[in-house]
Each structure stands twice: as structure tokens, then as C-alpha cells.
């Protein structure tokens, strides 16, 4: 310990002796470590922590796994009957809450708002002691018949109602139905787990799902169930009791066998998300990890430069008998001190990261993203790792020298240090290339969304909301389509139900008749027959929907290619019969290539399309056109106003399809682009420092060459050629690293409107050209300084 404290004191003296170098080293490490800790803070809060802030150790989520003669369900949800049985009979659980997510038209806006249907126990389970205004739901409001009341979040109250102190008792329009606001939750309420914060008693379910009574159907598994452990009860005991209770419920459904798992409620345990997280978590942490490695590389280059100046000191220590292991510990203590001094700044960055995230996405649901012990443990682990990684190479290089040569006044090991620097520069260039290629692939997606040759050609598709009022004189969709089709440049007009599909986003649980295949929740989107033509959607099997499909005895569907492949990997989807838990029967008539995020509400590949009736509900109007969209937008507004007084209240919001789709990529592109720019900045700073240092060390050599007749062009060429080899090696090595990452990125986004294409050579070539050119331009400054050096001055420098 005494030796360690002496090393720390000596390291502090070195920090004070070289303040500029020390500040640069500390700031570089703090930036890399803080960025990693900040991203980990966000991912930890969004994926791995319970979603409650009050006593999270007692919070549990119940996840059923169905088996037996019935097909396995994908979503771990309960029916109303099963939930109420657990609620009434469980002795190990306290408040047991149920909730479901639906899409609802909020006010007269075109956009849908995520709304939570909840039981009365929801607020207690999520730790709400008291509301900010009003009250929570009463038992009568959560019982049948349903009472149209709602609670809203503080965030929605301030944004939509201007923090009106008299908001309690005022109406809130959801799907054109008035709900009375009875309360406002406090800021950052943990129960705002979807959307901006709207809660409605779950007995109102039919009003949000086209009147289909999920609530009264014991076969409909539609509710997520969460609750609290009673004091002194373990998670294992509660799980055992829940399994016993569900086995009793299975006697009411002889073909079903149910097991229940209890989790802490973190999103990572949701089955659909768990599969996605296997790819996205390594991608995100790997990306910011590359930035930290780049920062460590820059610090290593700085310490290597200082190691040259300390050659004689290290040689003297070795000559008087100091062991190499003892010196290695001293040198590593110095690099660890640099990392430790950057911990406060890194912790501040990690603390601010959630605030930055919330500012970028103000409508994001609540996540408990304040740093916890896991974050600080990760921060300390990254600090130690970065300190060791940055200091190991300079420490080993300092000890690898010939004492006689160094003590005799000759620089030792310069060639080896040059090789070490070249390796580090190559590594930095390669890691920069990986991040820049990721940015380029996503930018390529944004470009493709608006390109004329895109699959959808979104630049020539206009989206207008369609939310006609419930009035006898309102125009039919056919009248609207005919009027809009008469506008100059309009080639076709289509209708789509829009976000959420059928049943407010819950989807229809479907299975293949006569098969034990998985029951899948399929978002059934109501569309017009012209939908596929308007959006250039290719039918790869069977046919598209036709006008007479609405009069068939069974409901006819066109399914997405991903859904068809999941059920019929060898083809043969057309003609198959799908069954739901209720009386509905569906016939597949065709398979559509790809999927559209803006028309289905998400990039969920499990989509199906059904013919909308003559009087469809509110949704989207899709217009394919030629020419300039600006005059067309004005024509659409005028055309809707001309259709009569009932249509005058249509809230018209227009946007190009490519803009709607590209908007979803912009935050991701911005974040990856920030990492890419940071990476290339760090790499170029390191390259500039290395070349400048090499020029300074070769001053005498340059003077001798010029005295012997070398021209300024020869000197500049000499300096530039010394950096070309590591740059080329870095670009080549970066291509080897980027291929697995690009493949993983393409798998994450394979179901988007224009998927990421890992095999597209253009992003790779462009990034390599830009990175190589930028690196060479960075070297021009020290190369020019060397070329302009006077020979006499160079020879007198030593």
C-alpha cells in the first residue's frame, strides 16, 4: 500500500508538471467513458430495470405460457376471466393490475394517441400515492357498465390543456367520444408506460376495438397483468401460487395448459422485445464502445509521445535496480489516475444523458433512467478498463529499451514506437470506418425513401388524414375518392385504416385451420382495393383485394410476406383458412411483398390487409400523383371543403409519404451520425498528433536530407508516405470489422419500408474515399511545415 500511495503521489506530480497534456488526456478519457456510461444508463433504464420507482423489489409481472392441445401464444397476456380469478384468489400478491394498449384518435387530430385501458388497481401497483389534481378511478367506474372517464398525465395536461387548473371535469375526446377527465397524475409518473399518458377504465374496451367484446370473452388473452408481492413473500412463492391458480383455470378450458413465470417487469423480458434486444443491445453498446476505444487510442498516442521524453528517466530507474514489474505498476498507476480524474466528468455526462434523451423525444413514455448502482458499477469498470487499455502499450514500450544506448544519449526503440503508433492509427481508422459505414447505410435508407426508383416512391405519394364526422350528410369514401381523383396530376386514391390496424393495436389472434402452428396477433389493416396500386405494393402470390371481397361469407385477407413465410415457408398461402378465437374465419387470397410503416402504425412485419367497407372509419387517404405536390396540397383542401358542410370539419394534415417514413429514421441516423463524426474526429486528431510528433523527432533527418539536395516536394512526399500505410491498413481492417455489424443492422431493419442493404457497395466505397481523403488532408499541415523548414535551422535543432 505504501508503494501504491507513492506511485499515486508521483503520478499527481506528473499531472501538475504537464498540465496541457494531462488535461487533454483526462478530457479525452472522460468523454469516451461518459458517453458509454450515458448510453448504458439509458439502455439500463429502458430495458433492464423494473418500470416503477417506488419499491421496485416488490414489483412483478405475470407472464403466462400456454401449451397443450392449443397452439402456443406469442404474447404473454391473460383473458379478463383469468385475471379476475388471480385477483380474487391470490394470497401472495397485493394489488394486481391489468392493462392493455389501444390507439385512439385524440380530439380532432389526425394522429393516433396511445391509450392505456387499465383496472382500478393499476395506479396503486405503480406506486401512485396521490394524484396532482382530482382523483383516480372508483370501483364503480371500473365495473360494468363502463363509465366514460379518463385520467391524464401531467405532461399531457401541460401540453394540451395549458396546465388549466380547472381541467378536472372537462371532456377529453377519444375516438370522437367524450370522456370526462377525473384526475391528473404527478410529473414523471411511472405508470406512463405507453404514449403521453391517457388512462381509461378497461371496461371501456369495446369502444376502442370496433365494439368487439374482448372484456367479456374468456378466450381472448389481451391483458398484461402486473402487481406487488405482499410483505415477506418471495417471488418463487408467488409464482408457485399463480401456477396453481392457473391450473385451476385450465379446467375451464380442457385443451389448454398454462404455466406462469414472474419477472421484475423489465421490458427485456417481453418475448417480442427479447429477440430484438439480442441484436440491438450489442449494436448500440458496440458502437459507443468503439468510440471509447478511439479515445483510448488517442490517449495511448499521447502517452507514447511522452514515453519518448521519459526514456532516460526510465533507463536510470532500471540501471539502479528497479524491477520492470515495479515500473510497470508505476506507469499503469499514472494512466489509471488519468481515468480516475475523469470520473466526475464522466458521471456528470451519464447523469445528463437521460435528460438529453427526454429532450430529444418529449413524448417518450416514462422510464426510470436515473443512474443507479449498476450504472456506477459500469462507470467504474469502464474507467479501470480504459485506464489500463490506454496505458499498457506506452508502459511496455517504455520498459523495452537498451540501457547502454539510452544512457549514452541515443534514442532507443524509436522504430518500435513508430510501429506501435502505426498500429494504433490503423486501428483508429478501422473503427472510424465501422461507425461511418453504419451512418452511411442509414443515410442510404433515407435517400432511398425519397428516390424516384424506390419501391414505394414516397416522394409521389401524399398522405392526408381522413376522419369524417358522424353526420348523416357526410360524404362517403367513394365520393371523396372520386373528387380527389379529378384533381390534376392524381393517378390513384386509396384508403388505409392507419396506425394500430384493427382492434386498436391489439391485433387479431389467428391460427391456421387444421394446424398446430403458433397463434399470432396480426394487425388487420382496413384498406381500399386501390391500396396496393397506389403504394406500388407487389403481390407475390395470389391476388390483391377486389371490390366484391366485402360480400364474401368469409373475411378475405392479403397477408404480408413475413407473415406468409412464418406460417407457410414453402409457399401455398393463398387459399389457406385462418381462425380466430371467436367466430370469425379468414381466407388468405394473396401475399404482399414488404410492409409499410406509416400505413400500419409500426414496422411490425405480421400484417394483414382486409377490404374496408363503403363507410370506413377514420384513417388515411393516400394519393399517388405526378408533378409538384405544393399545388396539389391546396387542391386537396379545397376539394374536401367542396364536398359539403359535414366535410368542412375534416382536420386536413398533409405530408409526403417519404417524409413520414424518413422521420422515423432521423433520430437513429442523427445518433449514429454523431458517433461517426466523433469517431472520425478522434481518429484525425490522433493522426495529426502522431505525424506532428514524427516530424518533430525527425527534424535533424529532414535537415540532412535537404542539405543533400532533397526538394520540398520530396520532404512532403516522405512525410505523407509514412502515414499512407497505416491509413490503408486501417481501411482494409475496418472492412473486415464492418461486415458482421452491417449484417446485424440489416437484420434489425429488415422489415422496414426500405430495408438496410448490407451488400450495397456504394456506402462502403464512399466512406473509404471520404475517410482516406480526410486522413491525407490532416497530414498536409505537418507535411507542409516539414517542407518549409530551413536546412540550417534543422541541423542546429540538436
Q: Which pLDDT value is given to residue 177?
A: 84
Confidence of residue 775 (pLDDT cuts 50, 70, 90): confident
Residues in CB range of 108: below 8 A, 6 or more apart? 173, 467, 649, 651
Q: Which pLDDT value is given to residue 504?
A: 47
Confidence of residue 763 (pLDDT cuts 50, 70, 90): confident
- Measuring CA to CA, how many Å separate 476 from each of 613, 634, 646? 10, 21, 11
Confidence of residue 428 (pLDDT cuts 50, 70, 90): confident
* C-beta of residue 147 within 8 angstroms of C-beta of residue 130: no
Q: Which pLDDT value is given to residue 122?
A: 94
For strand 585-592 and strand 555-560, is the pairing parallel, antiparallel, or unpaired? parallel
Q: Which pLDDT value is given to residue 447?
A: 61
pLDDT tops 70 at residue 771: yes
- Give the integer Cα–Cα distance in Å for 753 and 694: 50
Neighbours of 616 (CB within 10 A): 18
Q: What is the pLDDT of residues 639-698, one digit of tens each?
A: 766 665 444 344 445 555 555 555 555 666 666 677 777 777 777 777 777 677 667 667
Rounded to 5°, angle at Cα 477 from 474 and 478: 115
Q: Which pLDDT value is given to residue 462?
A: 77
Rounded to 5°, angle at Cα 287 from 282 and 293: 115
Residues in CB range of 268: below 8 A, 6 or more apart? 47, 48, 274, 277
Q: Which pLDDT value is given to residue 427?
A: 83
Q: Which residue has the higher pLDDT, 471 or 535?
A: 535
From the list 265, 262, 250, the residue with the least C-alpha distance to 79 is 250
Q: What is the pLDDT of residues 269-320, one digit of tens each?
A: 776 666 666 667 777 787 788 888 888 888 887 777 776 666 777 777 777 7
Q: Which pLDDT value is given to residue 399?
A: 72
Mean pLDDT estimate for the chain:
79
Q: What is the pLDDT of residues 711-756, one digit of tens each?
A: 888 888 888 887 788 888 888 888 888 888 788 777 766 655 556 7
Angle between helices 414-450 and 271-309 (to 10 degrees): 150
Q: Which residue has the higher pLDDT, 470 or 218?
A: 218
C-alpha cell at 231: 410483505
Q: What is the pLDDT of residues 160-187, one digit of tens each?
A: 888 999 999 999 988 778 899 999 999 9
Report phi then psi at 133, rounded to 5: -145, 145
From the list 210, 212, 660, the residue with the least C-alpha distance to 465 is 660
Segment 465-480 mean pLDDT: 66
DSSP H/E element including 149: strand 149-152
Min mean pLDDT across 129-138, 199-208, 682-691 is at 682-691
C-alpha cell at 94: 397485493
Most confident by average pLDDT, 56-70, 123-137, 251-265, 580-594: 123-137
3-state secondary structure string across 367-386 = CCCCCCHHHHHHHHHHHHHH
Q: In the block, which residue shows the cell 540538436?
A: 798
Which residues are registered as beta bridge partners of 621? Answer: 464, 495
Handedness of CA 204, 207, 208, 213 (dihedral sign): positive
Q: Which pLDDT value is given to residue 214?
A: 77
Residues in CB range of 607: below 8 A, 6 or more apart? 501, 522, 523, 525, 559, 560, 562, 563, 595, 600
Q: Which pLDDT value is given to residue 201?
A: 94
* C-beta of residue 458 within 8 angstroms of C-beta of residue 452: no
pLDDT tops 50 at residue 705: yes
pLDDT tops 70 at residue 594: no
Q: Which pLDDT value is given to residue 84?
A: 92
Percentage of the chain modeled with pLDDT above 70: 79
Hey, is 229 helix, strand or coil?
strand
Q: Which pLDDT value is given to residue 753?
A: 53
Q: Which residue has the higher pLDDT, 12 or 690?
A: 12
Neighbours of 631 (CB within 10 A): 12
Percentage of the chain modeled with pLDDT above 90: 15
Q: Which pLDDT value is given to residue 580?
A: 75
From the list 385, 394, 388, the residue with the least C-alpha distance to 420 is 394
From the list 723, 30, 774, 662, the residue with the least C-alpha distance to 433 is 774
From the list 674, 783, 772, the residue with the least C-alpha distance to 731 is 772
Hey, is 47 helix, strand or coil?
helix
Q: What is the pLDDT of residues 211-266, one digit of tens each?
A: 677 778 787 788 999 999 999 999 999 999 999 999 999 888 777 788 999 988 88
DSSP H/E element including 29: helix 19-43
DSSP 495-519: EE--TTTGGGGT-EEEEETT--PPB
For strand 256-263 and strand 619-625, is the pairing parallel, antiparallel, or unpaired? unpaired
Confidence of residue 618 (pLDDT cuts 50, 70, 90): low
Segment 47-66 mean pLDDT: 89
Q: Residue-wise over 433-443: b if at least 16 C-beta within 10 A, else e?
A: bbbbbbbbbbb
DSSP 381-436: HHHHHHHHHHHHHHHHHHHSS-HHHHHTT---SHHHHHHHHHHHHHHHHHHHHHHH
Most confident by average pLDDT, 3-17, 134-148, 610-624, 778-792: 134-148
Rounded to 5°, angle at Cα 550 from 544 and 555: 80
- Give the integer Cα–Cα distance in Å for 379 and 347: 7
Cis amide bond preceding 67, omega within 30: no
Residues in CB range of 107: below 8 A, 6 or more apart? 160, 172, 173
For strand 93-105 and strand 149-152, is the pairing parallel, antiparallel, or unpaired? unpaired
Q: Which residue has the higher pLDDT, 384 or 550?
A: 384
Q: Which residue has the higher pLDDT, 344 or 660?
A: 344
Q: Can you list the pairs that 5-10 forms with residues at least 24 positions away whose Cβ atoms lie under 8 Å?
A: 7/329, 7/330, 7/333, 7/334, 8/333, 8/337, 10/330, 10/334
Q: What is the pLDDT of residues 241-254, one digit of tens each?
A: 999 999 999 888 77
Q: Which residue has the higher pLDDT, 525 or 697?
A: 525
3-state secondary structure string across 602-656 = CCCCCEEEEECCCCCCCEEEEEEECCCHHHHHHHHHHHHHHCCHHHHHCCCCEEE
Q: Which pLDDT value is given to residue 250?
A: 87
Confidence of residue 457 (pLDDT cuts 50, 70, 90): low
Which residues are registered as beta bridge partners of 525? Answer: 609
Q: What is the pLDDT of residues 502-520, one digit of tens each?
A: 444 556 778 888 776 667 7
Amino acid at each position: 500500500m505504501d508503494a501504491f500511495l507513492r506511485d499515486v503521489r508521483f503520478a499527481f506530480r506528473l499531472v501538475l508538471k504537464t498540465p496541457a497534456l494531462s488535461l487533454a488526456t483526462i478530457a479525452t478519457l472522460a468523454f469516451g467513458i461518459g458517453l458509454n456510461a450515458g448510453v448504458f444508463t439509458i439502455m439500463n433504464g429502458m430495458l433492464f430495470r423494473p418500470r416503477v420507482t417506488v419499491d421496485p423489489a416488490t414489483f412483478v409481472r405475470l407472464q403466462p405460457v400456454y401449451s397443450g392441445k392449443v397452439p402456443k401464444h406469442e404474447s404473454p397476456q391473460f383473458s379478463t376471466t383469468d385475471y379476475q380469478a388471480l385477483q380474487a384468489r391470490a394470497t401472495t400478491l397485493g394489488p394486481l393490475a391489468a392493462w392493455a394498449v389501444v390507439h385512439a384518435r385524440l380530439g380532432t387530430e389526425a394522429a393516433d394517441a396511445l391509450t392505456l385501458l387499465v383496472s382500478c388497481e393499476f395506479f396503486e401497483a405503480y406506486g401512485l400515492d396521490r394524484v396532482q389534481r382530482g382523483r383516480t378511478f372508483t370501483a364503480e367506474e371500473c365495473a360494468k357498465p363502463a363509465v366514460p372517464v379518463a385520467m391524464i398525465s401531467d405532461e399531457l395536461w401541460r401540453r394540451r390543456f395549458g396546465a388549466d387548473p380547472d381541467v378536472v371535469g372537462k371532456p377529453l375526446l377519444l375516438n370522437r367520444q367524450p370522456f370526462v377527465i377525473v384526475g391528473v397524475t404527478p410529473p414523471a409518473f411511472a405508470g406512463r408506460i405507453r404514449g403521453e399518458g391517457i388512462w381509461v377504465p378497461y371496461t371501456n374496451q369495446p369502444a376502442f376495438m370496433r365494439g368487439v367484446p374482448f372484456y367479456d370473452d374468456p378466450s381472448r388473452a389481451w391483458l398484461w397483468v402486473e402487481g406487488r408481492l405482499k410483505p415477506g413473500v418471495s417471488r418463487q412463492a408467488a409464482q408457485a401460487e399463480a401456477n396453481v391458480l392457473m391450473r385451476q383455470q385450465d379446467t375451464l378450458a380442457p385443451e389448454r395448459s398454462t404455466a406462469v413465470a414472474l419477472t421484475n417487469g423489465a421490458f427485456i423480458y417481453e418475448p417480442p422485445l427479447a429477440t430484438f434486444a439480442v441484436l440491438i443491445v450489442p449494436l448500440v453498446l458496440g458502437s459507443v464502445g468503439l468510440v471509447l476505444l478511439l479515445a483510448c487510442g488517442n490517449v495511448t498516442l499521447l502517452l507514447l509521445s511522452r514515453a519518448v521524453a521519459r526514456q532516460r528517466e526510465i533507463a536510470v530507474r532500471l540501471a539502479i535496480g528497479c524491477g520492470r514489474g515495479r515500473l510497470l505498476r508505476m506507469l499503469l498507476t499514472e494512466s489509471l489516475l488519468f481515468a480516475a480524474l475523469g470520473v466526475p466528468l464522466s458521471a456528470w455526462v451519464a447523469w445528463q444523458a437521460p435528460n438529453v434523451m427526454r429532450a430529444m423525444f418529449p413524448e417518450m413514455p416514462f422510464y426510470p433512467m436515473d443512474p443507479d448502482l449498476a450504472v456506477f458499477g459500469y462507470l467504474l469498470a469502464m474507467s479501470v478498463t480504459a485506464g489500463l487499455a490506454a496505458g499498457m502499450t506506452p508502459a511496455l514500450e517504455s520498459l523495452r529499451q537498451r540501457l547502454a544506448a539510452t544512457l549514452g544519449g541515443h534514442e532507443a526503440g524509436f522504430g518500435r514506437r513508430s510501429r506501435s503508433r502505426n498500429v494504433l492509427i490503423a486501428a483508429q481508422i478501422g473503427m472510424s470506418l465501422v461507425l461511418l459505414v453504419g451512418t452511411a447505410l442509414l443515410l442510404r435508407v433515407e435517400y432511398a425513401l425519397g428516390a424516384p426508383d424506390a419501391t414505394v416512391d414516397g416522394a409521389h405519394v401524399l398522405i392526408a388524414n381522413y376522419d369524417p364526422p358522424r353526420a348523416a350528410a357526410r360524404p362517403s369514401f367513394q365520393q371523396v375518392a372520386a373528387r380527389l381523383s379529378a384533381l390534376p396530376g392524381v393517378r390513384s386514391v386509396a384508403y388505409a385504416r392507419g396506425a394500430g390496424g384493427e382492434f386498436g393495436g391489439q391485433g387479431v389472434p389467428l391460427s391456421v385451420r387444421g394446424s398446430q402452428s403458433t397463434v399470432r396477433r396480426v394487425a388487420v389493416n382496413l384498406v381500399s382495393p386501390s391500396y396496393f396500386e397506389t403504394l406500388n405494393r407487389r403481390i407475390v402470390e395470389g391476388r390483391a383485394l377486389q371490390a366484391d371481397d366485402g360480400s364474401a361469407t368469409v373475411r378475405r385477407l392479403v397477408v404480408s410476406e413475413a407473415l406468409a413465410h412464418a406460417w407457410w415457408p414453402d409457399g401455398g398461402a393463398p387459399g389457406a383458412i385462418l381462425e380466430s378465437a371467436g367466430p370469425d374465419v379468414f381466407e388468405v387470397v394473396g401475399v404482399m411483398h414488404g410492409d409499410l410503416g406509416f400505413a400500419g402504425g409500426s414496422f411490425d412485419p405480421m400484417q394483414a390487409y382486409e377490404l374496408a367497407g363503403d363507410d370506413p372509419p377514420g384513417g388515411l387517404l393516400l394519393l399517388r400523383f405526378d408533378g409538384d405536390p405544393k399545388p396539389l396540397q391546396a387542391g386537396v383542401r379545397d376539394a374536401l371543403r367542396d364536398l359539403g358542410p359535414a366535410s368542412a370539419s375534416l382536420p386536413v394534415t398533409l405530408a409526403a409519404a417519404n417524409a413520414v417514413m424518413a422521420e422515423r429514421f432521423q433520430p437513429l441516423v442523427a445518433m449514429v451520425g454523431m458517433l461517426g463524426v466523433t469517431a472520425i474526429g478522434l481518429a484525425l486528431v490522433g493522426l495529426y498528433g502522431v505525424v506532428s510528433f514524427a516530424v518533430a523527432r525527425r527534424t535533424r533527418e529532414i535537415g540532412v536530407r535537404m542539405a543533400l539536395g532533397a526538394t520540398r516536394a520530396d520532404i512532403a512526399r516522405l512525410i505523407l508516405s509514412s502515414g499512407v500505410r497505416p491509413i490503408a491498413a486501417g481501411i482494409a481492417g475496418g472492412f473486415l470489422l464492418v461486415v458482421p455489424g452491417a449484417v446485424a443492422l440489416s437484420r434489425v431493419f429488415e422489415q422496414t419500408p426500405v430495408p438496410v442493404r448490407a451488400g450495397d457497395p456504394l456506402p462502403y466505397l464512399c466512406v473509404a474515399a471520404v475517410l482516406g481523403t480526410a486522413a491525407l488532408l490532416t497530414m498536409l499541415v505537418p507535411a507542409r511545415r516539414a517542407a518549409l523548414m530551413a536546412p540550417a535551422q534543422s541541423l542546429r535543432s540538436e
